[in-house]
Amino acid sequence: MAITLVEAERIMAAAKAKALQMNVKVGISIVDPRGDLVAMLRLDGALWRTAPISRGKAFASVAFGQASGALQARADSPVIRALMIQEEGLLIPQQGAVPIMRGNELIGAIGVSGALSSEDEEIAKVGLAAL
């Protein structure tokens, strides 16, 4: 079962609040288990690229069922490079996204882009905690 829009909105609201508290301008995306977009926002003043990058980080997280930062060291591996090509660059193995689980089931991922990568991940984790 995939994340619901109601759940995504709750996560998004918490992530947005954290980003505003940190005074960073970010894009935030939530994807379902296939990597399809469920919700996305770009805070006022955030660069245009933060939205698609946040989605790419979320896509990477959901594709491998782990935090996107854990994929950085393997970004040049044949499997990840092949998937990046197959998905036409959508998958971005960079810190800033975490999987969303319901029990043991992967239901989506949240990705953030626009601040330091560690701050992006912190915002994503705060959003996730709202679920």
Give the distance, in angstroms, between the CA of residue 35 and the centroid of all CA atoms in the same chain: 10
Residues 25-71: tens digit of each pLDDT: 999 999 999 999 999 999 999 999 999 999 999 999 999 999 999 99
Q: How many CB atoms lie within 10 A of CB 46?
A: 20
Sign of CA dihedral 75, 77, 79, 82: positive
At the topology level, CATH places domain 5-129 in Beta-Lactamase (3.30.450)
What pTM was estimated for this model as a whole? 0.96
Parse the chain into domains and list their residue ranges. 5-129
Q: Which amino acid is at 41?
A: L
Residues 71-124: tens digit of each pLDDT: 999 999 999 999 999 999 899 999 999 999 999 999 999 999 999 999 999 999
Is residue 8 within 8 Å of residue 33, measured between CB atoms? no
pLDDT confidence of residue 51: 98
Provide the 8-state DSSP code for 112.
Answer: E
